[in-house]
């Protein structure tokens, strides 16, 4: 019996030459990467600009302070997050004690509190006129100067507060690393004569070290990026310096050079984080997984473990959250009005638009990489992810400089040709702000989308292609439905990050356009902390969403557990 | 017109050669099996036929249309080929009917009708509304086959399509598949590492090793006259000796064995299939006395380890039926010389 050969579309192979390779994807990915990497490159390139008067002034006066403060802050936050993060990860992974299951996810809650919000609440709680010191004076009859109390508006205070909300990076990665480990390595260690605790410290901990290093590096990047907290606590660092140089001294070049200096710190951390992640490969030597042997703690030990886990959750989430709630109850009647709801709408619209954009762009990038893995597209993806390491204020500088240049060119040519001044058509618009968000958060969506795409076996692509679908149709009909969960996760993560974002929004927002984060910052700057609370509380509430998501992801991440 | 032609096709992953100047044809309606050990490049060759890999050299022609030449590649969706993957690659977000209708065009009613008809043919019509994860391995295989065949491709590519099934089920699914392929008369290229499967399924076998096709021909021909030591040992168990050619023959415990065309004094490999050894009935010519060392009954046959008198050489025989002599028994064996192969020790370059 003969077979009817399917009538091929009448197209010779030579006609196909143009559309043979999905080179369109490579091209699209490379263009995205080029566009998105412009701000970081502009900032880094500014070191070649001649140093101006302002820079010399900065170098003579405050630069040494910025460097010293940043280094001390890194040391403090690094130590703090390491101790808290690894400690609690160890406890909830290796031990059984009352409340362990709750702590597994509750320990992530401080993630929801932005550094500037924790600074506002602690600043108010611990200041001289704050409730704590007032209560102490009341109780002991002390007066001013009779007693010693730690100054929260200090470098040490900033480092401690940031550690309280940044330790979840270390906790998250350390715990994932402990869970990923095959129980075989622990069992072998046991058969070789190590006790349970020594097996943990001699085998599990070294195996998790790359993940821990990566977690600390991420926490330090966040700490260096922070603007709102150090501004509020009067600890001058690079980010506050960039802001003042730009707006106070009006020198964009010096601000960019300061940004480049800060990027140097960040790039070192990126290298640390990358190389640490690169070394994570040796984990999967055995494919046998089962529950880690957990040691039941009783009595005093159980109480100590409970306390060790409760304190970070309390100080990092419950206390600042409670304070915000108390303030909100106090001021909501006056603050929550149509204007406030406008802020909520602004924030949510911005965040939703940025999330949709970031996910769409990430999908193009990740799918391009899947279709044609190669050096060009691989480099593109890495370049495009670089923005995540860059602090918001640095990105603002890197976006505004080229946009202002472009605006001036457009204005000049319009004036020359039509005799009209167009003014600033791009900078100071939502388009520019959206672009800054894309630069900053593309890596978040890209990593999530790429990870979900990676779980779709390549034979799916092959099956769809042999059944007659082109690459774009395959993406639409096979991958997109399969990874819709991953796309949603990516969108939510970007959404919340944009909600929290302060410095870039502050610098780049259109005139008279406010968001929750900016409003909270403005009110806090005027010491109207109670009035700032509703906005801050809304941001924290939004931040709880990805914590819930992360919890679900971790629960499913354990190899050997069927994840569909 | 041939359904598939490879002309000098080569492919390498980075620096590792996977396929080296392969020439192969699949005639219309023919089932050709690519047979070889894992890593021999057979799956790569299949993926090249599907358009999922781009070969670095050579041409691929599918049903008379050039599908690939250096610098030009017809994308998989324009080739009109059906493929069944080793893991079946059923789309988990689509029902069975949705999977089978995936490659079909036309109105949704027409697609559904065509999908159901195809499912009917593989006996899966009643599962049309179910989802892949609730299906057994055999059911998944049938759906994958139906999905590949539904668009009426001009060429079917099967990548180890039975390897995921347990052995009893495999025999049945294999039979059903063969029946379907014959009924459809579809040209098929099938990849397998199982010689028995290849012999069973194929009109023609192409034995691959290290990216090259060593021998191709009808199954019985390849089995009866393997081209070199590797092919002979890959197709079945053998007893292997070394010897030296002398006057067109090599000496053995069973007397001289023909070593045609091999120069005097050259070292040779002597391969004797276990089924070539039989128990001599009465006083047979050139019978050799032997002692039974061990017996492994397999049911349809028995593996019997023997020690030959004379040079005390250990050999393995496969005797038909479940009954065999007891260990320690003295028997005499004769050799069926049609299942004996003599190759020069180092001549064929394919052994490298």
pLDDT tens digits along A8-39: 333 444 434 334 454 677 788 888 888 888 88
Number of neighbours of residue B212 by Cβ within 10 angstroms? 17
Q: How confident is the model at residue A57, as a pLDDT?
A: 81
DSSP run (H or E) holding B290: strand B288-297
Q: How confident is the model at residue A221, as a pLDDT?
A: 87
Residue A3's pLDDT band, with cuts at 50, 70 and 90, is very low
Give CA–CA dist A355/A348, Å, rounded.
Answer: 10
B51 vs A contacts (CB less than 8 Å): 465-466
Asked whether the beta carbons of residue B148 and residue A20 sit closer than 8 angstroms, the reply is no
- Name the percent of chain A lying above pLDDT 90: 22
Strand partners, B159: B191
Measured in angstroms, the CA of B30 and the nearest CA of chain A are apart by: 11
Q: Residue B303 phi/psi, 5° resolution?
A: -90, 125
Q: Which of residues A562 and A227 earns the better pLDDT score?
A: A227
Measured in angstroms, the CA of A270 and the nearest CA of chain B are apart by: 29
Identical fold between B4-225 and B239-351 = no
List residues of A whose CB lies inside 8 A of any B CB.
Answer: 1-6, 8-9, 11, 13-14, 16-17, 19-21, 457, 459-470, 477-478, 481-482, 564
Asked whether the beta carbons of residue A13 and residue B66 sit closer than 8 angstroms, the reply is yes
Q: pTM score, two decimals?
A: 0.75
Instruction: Tell me the Cα Rg of chain A.
Output: 26
Q: What is chain A's mean pLDDT, rounded?
A: 82
Q: How confident is the model at residue A292, as a pLDDT?
A: 58
pLDDT for residue A438 is more than 60:
yes
Number of neighbours of residue B324 by Cβ within 10 angstroms? 22
Q: How confident is the model at residue A183, as a pLDDT?
A: 60
Token code pair at residue A127: 């200041």
The residues, ordered by sequence, that sit 6+ positions from A244 with a Cβ below 8 Å of its Cβ are none
Please tell me which of the candidates A1, A5, A465 has its beta carbon nearest to residue B75. Answer: A465
Q: How confident is the model at residue B157, as a pLDDT?
A: 94
Give CA–CA dist A358/A489, Å, rounded.
Answer: 12
Q: Residue A370 phi/psi, 5° resolution?
A: -70, -40
pLDDT for residue B90 is more than 60:
yes
What domains does chain A contain, in order, with CATH numbers?
61-112+154-331 (1.10.3720.10)
- Torsion-angle region of residue B98: left (phi > 0), alpha (psi -120 to 50) or beta? alpha
pLDDT tens digits, one per residue of A87-98 = 999 888 888 899
Q: CA torsion sign, A223 to A226 to A231 to A232?
A: negative
Contact B19, B55 (CB under 8 A): yes
Q: How confident is the model at residue A19, as a pLDDT?
A: 40
pLDDT tens digits, one per residue of A339-359 = 889 999 999 999 999 999 999
Measured in angstroms, the CA of B214 and the nearest CA of chain A are apart by: 28
Nearest Cα residue in chain B from A467? B103
pLDDT tens digits, one per residue of A103-116 = 988 998 998 899 99
Q: Residue A193 phi/psi, 5° resolution?
A: 100, 5
DSSP secondary structure letters along A424-469? -SSTTSHHHHHHHHHHHHHHHHHHHHHHHHHTS-HHHHHHHHHTT-
Q: How confident is the model at residue A284, as a pLDDT?
A: 41
Measured in angstroms, the CA of A20 and the nearest CA of chain B are apart by: 6
A21 vs B contacts (CB less than 8 Å): 73
Contact A439, A387 (CB under 8 A): yes
Residue A486's pLDDT band, with cuts at 50, 70 and 90, is confident
- Residue from B26, B73, B74, B77 whose CB has the most chain A CBs within 10 Å, to mutate: B77
Measured in angstroms, the CA of A477 and the nearest CA of chain B are apart by: 9
Instruction: Tell me the Cα Rg of chain B.
Output: 24
Please tell me which of the candidates B92, B148, B185 has its beta carbon nearest to residue A482. Answer: B92
Residue B222's pLDDT band, with cuts at 50, 70 and 90, is very high
Give the range among A267-281, B74-88, B140-154 with minimum mean pLDDT. Answer: A267-281
Token code pair at residue B270: 């002597």
Residue B89's pLDDT band, with cuts at 50, 70 and 90, is confident
Q: Stretch B257-276: mean pLDDT, rounded?
A: 89
Asked whether the beta carbons of residue A465 and residue B77 sit closer than 8 angstroms, the reply is yes
Residue A456's pLDDT band, with cuts at 50, 70 and 90, is confident
pLDDT for residue A256 is more than 90:
no
Contact A40, A387 (CB under 8 A): yes
- Residue from A1, A370, A467, A481 whose CB has the most chain B CBs within 10 Å, to mutate: A467
Q: How confident is the model at residue B111, as a pLDDT?
A: 92
Measured in angstroms, the CA of B155 and the nearest CA of chain A are apart by: 9
Q: How confident is the model at residue B287, as a pLDDT?
A: 86
Nearest Cα residue in chain B from A564? B92
Q: How confident is the model at residue A192, as a pLDDT?
A: 65
Closest among B213, B210, B180, B207 to B194, alpha carbons compared: B207
Grouping H, G, I as helix, E, B as strand and the rest as coil, residue B201 is helix
Asked whether the beta carbons of residue A467 and residue B65 sit closer than 8 angstroms, the reply is no
Q: How confident is the model at residue A143, as a pLDDT?
A: 77
Give CA–CA dist B121/B106, Å, rounded.
Answer: 21
The residues, ordered by sequence, that sit 6+ positions from B97 with a Cβ below 8 Å of its Cβ are B112, B115, B116, B119, B128, B129
Domain at B4-225, CATH class: alpha beta
Q: Stretch A212-234: mean pLDDT, rounded?
A: 88
Measured in angstroms, the CA of B318 and the nearest CA of chain A are apart by: 39
A469 vs B contacts (CB less than 8 Å): 77, 103
Contact A39, A436 (CB under 8 A): yes
Residue A213's pLDDT band, with cuts at 50, 70 and 90, is confident
Please tell me which of the candidates B47, B72, B184 has its beta carbon nearest to residue A17. Answer: B72
Domain spans of chain B, in order of start: 4-225, 239-351
Topology (CATH) of B239-351: OB fold (Dihydrolipoamide Acetyltransferase, E2P) (2.40.50)
pLDDT tens digits, one per residue of A117-127 = 999 999 888 88
Please tell me which of the candidates A20, A466, A477 has its beta carbon nearest to residue B81. Answer: A466
pLDDT tens digits, one per residue of B292-304 = 999 998 888 899 9
Asked whether the beta carbons of residue A2 and residue B147 sit closer than 8 angstroms, the reply is no
Q: How confident is the model at residue B44, as a pLDDT?
A: 93
pLDDT for residue A158 is more than 90:
yes
Asked whether the beta carbons of residue A2 and residue B29 sit closer than 8 angstroms, the reply is yes
B85 vs A contacts (CB less than 8 Å): 459, 462-463
- Name the percent of chain B lying above pLDDT 70: 98
- Residue from A11, A455, A463, A564 whose CB has the most chain B CBs within 10 Å, to mutate: A463
The residues, ordered by sequence, that sit 6+ positions from A439 with a Cβ below 8 Å of its Cβ are A36, A39, A40, A387, A390, A395, A398, A399
pLDDT for residue A179 is more than 50:
yes
Residue A384's pLDDT band, with cuts at 50, 70 and 90, is confident
Grouping H, G, I as helix, E, B as strand and the rest as coil, residue B92 is coil
Q: What is chain B's mean pLDDT, rounded?
A: 90
- Name the percent of chain A lying above pLDDT 70: 88
Q: How confident is the model at residue A81, as a pLDDT?
A: 95
Nearest Cα residue in chain A from B66? A13
pLDDT for residue A265 is more than 90:
no
Asked whether the beta carbons of residue A462 and residue B76 sit closer than 8 angstroms, the reply is yes
pLDDT for residue B149 is more than 60:
yes
Give the range among A110-114, A144-148, A277-281, B8-12 with minimum mean pLDDT. Answer: A277-281
Residue B115's pLDDT band, with cuts at 50, 70 and 90, is very high
CA dist A122 → A112, A231, A499, A515, A522 (Å):
16, 14, 21, 23, 17
Asked whether the beta carbons of residue B103 and residue A11 sit closer than 8 angstroms, the reply is no
Residue A282's pLDDT band, with cuts at 50, 70 and 90, is very low
Q: Residue A274 phi/psi, 5° resolution?
A: -60, -50
User: For chain B, how long is the longest CA-to-CA vector?
Assistant: 78
């Amino acid at each position: 019996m003969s077979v009817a050969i399917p009538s091929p579309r009448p197209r010779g192979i030579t006609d196909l030459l143009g559309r043979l390779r999905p080179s369109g994807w490579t091209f699209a990915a490379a263009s995205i990467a080029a566009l998105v990497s412009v701000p970081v490159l502009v900032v880094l390139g500014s070191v070649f600009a001649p140093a101006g008067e302002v820079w010399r002034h900065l170098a003579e006066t405050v630069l040494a302070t910025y460097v010293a403060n940043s280094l001390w802050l890194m040391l403090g936050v690094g130590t703090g997050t390491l101790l808290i993060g690894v400690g609690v990860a160890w406890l909830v992974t290796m031990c059984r004690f009352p409340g362990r299951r709750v702590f597994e996810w509750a320990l992530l809650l401080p993630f929801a509190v932005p550094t500037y919000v924790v600074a506002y609440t602690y600043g108010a709680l611990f200041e001289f006129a704050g409730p704590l010191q007032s209560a102490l004076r009341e109780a002991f009859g002390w007066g001013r100067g009779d007693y010693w109390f730690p100054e929260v508006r200090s470098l040490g205070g900033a480092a401690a507060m940031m550690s309280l909300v940044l330790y979840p990076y270390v906790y998250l990665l350390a715990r994932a690393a402990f869970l990923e480990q095959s129980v075989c390595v622990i069992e072998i260690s046991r058969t070789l004569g190590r006790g349970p605790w020594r097996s943990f410290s001699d085998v599990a901990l070294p195996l998790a070290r790359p993940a821990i290093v990566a977690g600390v590096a991420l926490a330090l990047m966040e700490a260096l990026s922070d603007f709102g907290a150090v501004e509020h606590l009067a600890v001058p660092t690079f980010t506050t310096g960039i802001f003042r140089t730009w707006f106070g001294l009006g020198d964009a070049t010096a601000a960019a050079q300061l940004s480049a200096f800060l990027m140097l710190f960040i790039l070192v951390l990126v290298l640390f984080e990358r190389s640490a992640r690169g070394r994570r490969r040796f984990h999967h030597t055995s494919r046998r997984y089962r529950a880690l042997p957990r040691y039941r703690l009783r009595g005093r030990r159980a109480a100590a473990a409970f306390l060790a886990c409760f304190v970070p959750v309390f100080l990092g989430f419950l206390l600042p959250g409670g304070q915000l709630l108390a303030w909100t109850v106090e001021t909501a009647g006056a603050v929550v009005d149509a204007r406030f709801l406008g802020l909520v709408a602004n924030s949510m619209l911005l965040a939703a638009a940025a999330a949709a954009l970031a996910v769409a762009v990430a999908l193009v990038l990740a799918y391009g990489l899947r279709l044609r893995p190669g050096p060009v597209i691989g480099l593109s993806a890495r370049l495009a992810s670089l923005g995540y390491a860059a602090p918001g204020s640095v990105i603002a500088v890197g976006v505004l400089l080229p946009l202002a240049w472009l605006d001036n060119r457009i204005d000049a040519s319009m004036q020359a040709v039509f005799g009209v001044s167009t003014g600033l058509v791009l900078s100071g618009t939502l388009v520019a702000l959206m672009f800054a968000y894309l630069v900053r958060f593309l890596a978040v969506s890209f990593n999530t989308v790429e990870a979900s795409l990676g779980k779709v076996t390549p034979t799916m692509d092959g099956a769809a292609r042999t059944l007659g679908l082109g690459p774009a149709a395959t993406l639409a009909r096979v991958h997109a439905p399969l990874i819709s969960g991953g796309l949603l996760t990516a969108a939510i993560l970007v959404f919340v990050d944009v909600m929290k974002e302060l410095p870039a929004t502050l610098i780049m927002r259109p005139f008279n356009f406010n968001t929750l984060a900016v409003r909270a910052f403005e009110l806090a700057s005027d010491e109207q902390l109670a009035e700032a609370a509703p906005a801050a509380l809304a941001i924290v509430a939004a931040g709880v969403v990805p914590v819930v998501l992360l919890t679900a992801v971790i629960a499913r991440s354990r190899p050997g557990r069927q994840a569909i | 017109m041939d359904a598939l032609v490879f002309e000098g096709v080569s492919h390498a992953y980075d620096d590792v050669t996977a396929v080296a100047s392969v020439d192969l044809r699949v005639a219309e309606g023919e089932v050709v099996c690519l047979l070889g050990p894992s890593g021999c490049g057979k799956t790569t060759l299949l993926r090249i036929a599907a358009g999922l890999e781009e070969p670095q050299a050579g041409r691929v022609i599918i049903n008379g249309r050039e599908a690939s030449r250096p610098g030009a590649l017809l994308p998989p969706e324009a080739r009109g080929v059906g493929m069944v993957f080793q893991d079946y690659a059923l789309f988990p977000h689509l029902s069975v009917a949705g999977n089978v209708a995936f490659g079909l065009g036309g109105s949704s009613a027409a697609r559904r009708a065509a999908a159901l008809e195809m499912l009917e043919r593989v006996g899966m019509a009643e599962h049309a509304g179910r989802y892949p994860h609730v299906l057994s391995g055999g059911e998944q295989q049938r759906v994958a086959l139906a999905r590949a065949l539904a668009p009426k491709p001009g060429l079917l590519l099967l990548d180890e399509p039975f390897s995921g099934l347990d052995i009893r089920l495999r025999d049945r699914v294999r039979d059903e598949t063969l029946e379907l392929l014959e009924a459809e008369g579809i040209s098929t290229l099938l990849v397998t590492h199982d010689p028995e499967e290849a012999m069973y399924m194929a009109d023609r076998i192409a034995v691959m090793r290290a990216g090259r096709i060593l021998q191709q021909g009808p199954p019985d021909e390849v089995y009866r006259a393997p081209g070199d030591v590797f092919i002979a040992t890959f197709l079945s168990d053998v007893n292997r000796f070394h010897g030296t050619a002398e006057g067109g023959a090599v000496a053995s415990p069973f007397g001289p064995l023909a070593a045609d065309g091999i120069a005097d004094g050259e070292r040779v490999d002597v391969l004797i299939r276990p089924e070539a050894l039989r128990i001599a009935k009465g006083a047979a010519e050139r019978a050799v006395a032997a002692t039974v060392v061990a017996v492994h009954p397999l049911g349809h046959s028995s593996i019997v380890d023997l020690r030959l008198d004379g040079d005390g050489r250990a050999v393995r025989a496969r005797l038909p039926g479940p009954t065999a002599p007891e260990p320690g028994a003295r028997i005499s064996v004769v050799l069926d010389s049609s299942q004996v192969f003599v190759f020069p020790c180092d001549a064929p370059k394919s052994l490298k």
